[in-house]
A and B are shown apart, each in its own frame.
Chain A
Amino acid sequence: MDITVNILLTIATAATPLLIAAIGELVVERSGVLNLGVEGMMIMGAVGGFGAGYLTGSPWIGLLAAVAMGAVFSLLFAVMTLSLATNQVATGLSLTLLGLGLSGMMGTGFVGQPGERLPNLDIPGLTSIPVVGRLLFGQDPIFYISIALTAAVMWFLFKTRTGLTLRSIGDSHTSAHALGIKVIRYRYLSVIFGGACAGLAGGHLSLVYTPQWVENMTAGRGWIALALVVFASWRPWRVLAGAYIFGAVWIGQLHAQAFGIPVPSQLLSSLPYLATVVVLVLISRNKRLTMMNTPASLGQPFVPDR
Chain B
Amino acid sequence: MMRLELVKRPQRSMLFSALSPFIAFGLTIVAGAIMFALLGVNPLSAFRIYFIEPISQVWQLHELAIKAAPLILIAVGLSVCFKANIWNIGAEGQFVLGAIVGSIIPVFFPQFEGPLVLPLMLLLGMVGGAAYAAIPALLKTRFGTNEILTSLMLVYVAQLFLDWLVRGPWRDPQGHGFPQTIQFNDSGILPELMPDAGRANWGFIFALLAAVAIWILMSRMLKGFEVRVLGSSPRAGRFAGFGLNRMVFFAFLLSGALAGLAGISEVSGAIGQLQPVISPGYGFTAIIVAFLGRLNPLGIVAAGLVLALTYLGGEAVQSALGISDKVARVFQGMLLFFVLGCDTLIHYRIRLIGLAAPKLEAAPKLKEAR
Binding site for B on A (CB under 8 A): 36, 76, 80, 83-87, 89-91, 93-95, 97-102, 104-105, 108, 219-220, 223, 226-227, 230, 264, 266-267, 269-270, 273-274, 276-277, 280-281, 284-285, 287, 290, 303, 306
Once bound together, how far apart are the Cα atoms of A219 and B153, in whole Å? 11
Chain A residues closer than 8 Å to B139, beta-carbon distance = 277, 280-281
Once the chains bind, are B284 and A290 in contact (CB under 8 Å)? Answer: no
Chain B: which residue is nearest A283 at the CB level?
Answer: B145
Given contacts A89-B148, A90-B291, A306-B358, 17 further A-B contacts (CB under 8 A): A84-B341, A84-B350, A85-B6, A91-B337, A93-B336, A94-B336, A98-B336, A101-B328, A101-B331, A101-B332, A105-B327, A105-B330, A264-B168, A267-B160, A270-B160, A277-B150, A285-B144
Once the chains bind, are A97 and B333 in contact (CB under 8 Å)? Answer: yes
Once the chains bind, are B8 and A285 in contact (CB under 8 Å)? Answer: no
Once bound together, how far apart are the Cα atoms of A223 and B161, in whole Å? 19
In the assembled complex, B143 has its CB within 8 A of some CB on chain A: yes
Once the chains bind, are A80 and B341 in contact (CB under 8 Å)? Answer: yes
In the assembled complex, B30 has its CB within 8 A of some CB on chain A: no
Binding site for A on B (CB under 8 A): 4-6, 8, 82, 87, 89, 139, 143-146, 148-150, 152-154, 156-157, 160-161, 163-164, 167-168, 284-285, 287-288, 291, 323-324, 326-334, 336-337, 340-341, 343-344, 348, 350, 358
Tell which of B145, B157, B341 touches A274, judged by Cβ atoms closer than 8 Å. Answer: B157
Chain A: which residue is nearest B169 at the CB level?
Answer: A264
What are some 12 contacts across the A-B interface (CB < 8 A)?
Answer: A76-B337, A80-B341, A99-B333, A101-B332, A220-B156, A267-B160, A273-B153, A273-B156, A276-B153, A277-B154, A281-B145, A290-B144
Once the chains bind, are B149 and A97 in contact (CB under 8 Å)? Answer: no
Once the chains bind, are B161 and A102 in contact (CB under 8 Å)? Answer: no
Once bound together, how far apart are the Cα atoms of A288 and B334, in whole Å? 40
What 4 A-B pairs come out closest when comparing CB atoms?
A101-B329, A98-B333, A104-B326, A266-B164
Once bound together, how far apart are the Cα atoms of A219 and B155, in whole Å? 11
Chain A residues closer than 8 Å to B157, beta-carbon distance = 270, 273-274
Chain A residues closer than 8 Å to B327, beta-carbon distance = 101, 105
Tell which of B149, B160, B164 touches A223, judged by Cβ atoms closer than 8 Å. Answer: B149
CB distance from A230 to the nearest CB of B (A): 6
Once bound together, how far apart are the Cα atoms of A255 and B331, in whole Å? 39
Majority DSSP secondary structure for residues of A touching B: helix
Chain A residues closer than 8 Å to B160, beta-carbon distance = 266-267, 269-270
Tell which of A86, A90, A280 touches B150, judged by Cβ atoms closer than 8 Å. Answer: A280
Tell which of A93, A223, A303 touches B287, judged by Cβ atoms closer than 8 Å. Answer: A93
Once the chains bind, are A86 and B343 in contact (CB under 8 Å)? Answer: yes
CB distance from B282 to the nearest CB of A (A): 13
Chain A: which residue is nearest B156 at the CB level?
Answer: A273
Once bound together, how far apart are the Cα atoms of A100 and B331, in whole Å? 12
Once bound together, how far apart are the Cα atoms of A108 and B327, in whole Å? 11
Chain B residues closer than 8 Å to A276, beta-carbon distance = 149, 153
Chain B: which residue is nearest A227 at the CB level?
Answer: B149
Chain A residues closer than 8 Å to B291, beta-carbon distance = 90
Once bound together, how far apart are the Cα atoms of A100 and B285, in whole Å? 12
Among A83, A101, A108, the most chain B Cβ lie within 10 Å of the Cβ of A101
Q: Would A104 and B329 be within 8 Å (CB), given that A97-B288, A266-B161, A303-B6 are in contact?
A: yes
Once the chains bind, are B149 and A108 in contact (CB under 8 Å)? Answer: no
Chain A residues closer than 8 Å to B287, beta-carbon distance = 90, 93, 97
Once bound together, how far apart are the Cα atoms of A36 and B326, in whole Å? 21
CB distance from A261 to the nearest CB of B (A): 15
Chain A: which residue is nearest B87 at the CB level?
Answer: A89
Once bound together, how far apart are the Cα atoms of A276 and B168, in whole Å? 26
Once bound together, how far apart are the Cα atoms of A101 and B333, in whole Å? 8
CB distance from B38 to the nearest CB of A (A): 11
Chain B: which residue is nearest A76 at the CB level?
Answer: B337
Once bound together, how far apart are the Cα atoms of A89 and B168, in whole Å? 38
Once bound together, how far apart are the Cα atoms of A93 and B91, in whole Å? 14
Once the chains bind, are A80 and B340 in contact (CB under 8 Å)? Answer: yes
Once the chains bind, are A230 and B329 in contact (CB under 8 Å)? Answer: no
Once bound together, how far apart are the Cα atoms of A223 and B348, in whole Å? 32
Tell which of B150, B323, B340 touches A87, judged by Cβ atoms closer than 8 Å. Answer: B340
Once bound together, how far apart are the Cα atoms of A306 and B5, in whole Å? 9
Once the chains bind, are B144 and A274 in contact (CB under 8 Å)? Answer: no
Chain B residues closer than 8 Å to A274, beta-carbon distance = 153, 157
Chain A residues closer than 8 Å to B329, beta-carbon distance = 97-98, 100-102, 104-105
Once bound together, how far apart are the Cα atoms of A99 and B350, in whole Å? 27
Tell which of B150, B163, B164, B330 touches A102, judged by Cβ atoms closer than 8 Å. Answer: B330
Once the chains bind, are A270 and B324 in contact (CB under 8 Å)? Answer: no
Tell which of B89, B161, B350 touches A93, judged by Cβ atoms closer than 8 Å. Answer: B89
Chain A residues closer than 8 Å to B341, beta-carbon distance = 80, 84, 86
CB distance from B145 to the nearest CB of A (A): 4
Once the chains bind, are A97 and B156 in contact (CB under 8 Å)? Answer: no
Chain A: which residue is nearest B327 at the CB level?
Answer: A105
Chain B residues closer than 8 Å to A91, beta-carbon distance = 337, 340
Once the chains bind, are A105 and B154 in contact (CB under 8 Å)? Answer: no
Once the chains bind, are B156 and A80 in contact (CB under 8 Å)? Answer: no
CB distance from A37 to the nearest CB of B (A): 10
Once bound together, how far apart are the Cα atoms of A267 and B358, in whole Å? 60
Chain B: which residue is nearest A282 at the CB level?
Answer: B143
Q: Would A98 and B149 be within 8 Å (CB), given that A86-B340, A220-B156, A270-B156 are in contact?
A: no
Once the chains bind, are A264 and B164 in contact (CB under 8 Å)? Answer: yes
